[in-house]
Amino acid sequence: MSDEPHFRRLALIGVGLIGSSIAWAARRDNLVGEIVCSARTEETRARALELGVVDRAVATSAEAVAGADLVILCTPVGTFGKVAQEIGPHLEPGAIVSDVGSVKKTVVRDVGPHIPDGVHFIPAHPVAGTEQSGPDAGFAELFDQRWCILTPPAGCDPDAQARLAKFWEAMGSRVEIMDAEHHDLVLAITSHVPHLIAYNIVGTADDLEAVTESEVIKYSAGGFRDFTRLAASDPTMWRDVFLNNREAVLEMLGRFSEDLSALQRSIRWADGDALFDLFTRTRTIRRRIIDAGQEVETPDFGRPHGGSDD
């Protein structure tokens, strides 16, 4: 069994950063017999073939899923309803349909109704990525030691769930099972609000009159540049995330703003002790993230200092 591919044919709907990384990881670990992807543009299909990411690249998701025993939606979550409608009639009995969307409640709502009986629908979210996008951005190691969250609906087939979990584990991931609603709340604070804040401060800096953009760029090593990484993430994907996780994002954003107001007040009234207490408390969390294998130990993310790369 261990030498056998876990799936006969993998269909990737979309072949961007995550789709192409799944393809590379699945090939590396010999997990699938064949990989087919669909992509809207001829350019992306040609590029995916040229890179050798997939065996076949087709224009429609309906074509892609024909004969596939594992289907993974890797397009922005805003497209999922339409994609599900298109593929529904073409899915093989016994196939598993999954996704990689960063929100899960609306995925259940948008995709679920289009999945026919006898096909297993198991939403998933690999918590991994970089700020780059497109088929060129993918690499096999992206999921190594990162968590992949499955949010199986009630009544989900345990064998299908176990097969999908095994697939992700074989790609290097650790797998966690979670309720879709709780997933969206957890990711709002660990991913969505951080991205929103990063986008926001980069926008604020860009709009200043008293400080030039050239100054922002020159002195960005003071801390600002860290935020520009998240703020360089794919705009379509992130628009869809915020439109599809509105409640949880607004809830977490409310708390963030409330805390920021308190901090602002501490600065205005020169409450050094309140500042010092917070700044001391926050150090511990990074230490725990490093200990949990979710962050590098080296200072400054291991950015090179000195030399031509810096």
Window 150-209: residues binding its own copies (CB under 8 A): 172, 176, 185-187, 189-208
Work out how close the CB of 159 gets to its own copies at its nearest, in angstroms, rounded to a whole number: 26
> What is the smallest separation between the CB atom of 232 and its own copies, expressed in angstroms?
4
Q: What is the DSSP code string of 3-46? A: TS-SEEEEEEE--SHHHHHHHHHHHHTT-EEEEEEE-SSHHHHH
46 binds its own copies (CB under 8 A): no
Residue 114 interacts with its own copies (CB under 8 A): yes or no: no
Query: For tokens 């860009």, what's the residue?
Result: 206
Are 198 and 231 in contact, with CB atoms under 8 Å apart? Answer: yes
Residue with Cβ nearer its own copies (46 or 296): 296
Name, in order, each residue with C-beta under 8 angstroms of 8's C-beta and a sequence gap of 6 or more.
32, 33, 34, 68, 69
Whether residue 116 contacts residue 94, with contact meaning beta carbons closer than 8 Å, is answered with: no
Check if the beta carbon of residue 16 is closer than 8 Å to that of residue 40. no
Query: Which CB sits closer to its own copies, 162 or 250?
Result: 250
How far apart are alpha carbons 197 and 84 in whole angstroms?
32
How many residues comprise the chain? 310
Enumerate residues 14-33 that contact its own copies by CB under 8 A: none
CB nearer its own copies, residue 154 or residue 270: 270
For residue 167, the minimal CB distance to its own copies (Å) is 18
Contact 53, 135 (CB under 8 A): yes
Among positions 41, 154, 159, 285, the unique one binding its own copies when judged by CB under 8 A: 285
Nearer to its own copies, 89 or 109 (CB): 109
Residue pair 239/78 in contact by the 8 Å Cβ criterion: yes
Residue labelled with tokens 């990989």:
35
Residue 16: name the closest of 106, 139, 156 by CA: 139
Candidates 8-16, 33-41, 47-55, 271-279: pick the segment binding its own copies (CB under 8 A): 271-279
Residue 286 lies near its own copies (rule: CB under 8 A) = yes
**Selected binder of its own copies within 41, 93, 158, 279 (CB under 8 A):** 279
Straight-line distance from the first to the last Cα atom of the chain, in angstroms, rounded to the nearest whole number: 47
- Please report, for the chain, how many H helices and E strands are present, in that order: 13, 9
* Shortest Cβ 74–its own copies spacing (Å): 17
Among residue numbers 205 through 244, which ones bind its own copies (CB under 8 A)? 205-208, 210-211, 213, 215-233, 235-236, 238-240, 242-243
- Footprint of its own copies on 67-106 (CB under 8 A): 78, 102
Q: How far is the CB of 37 from its own copies (least distance, A)?
A: 21
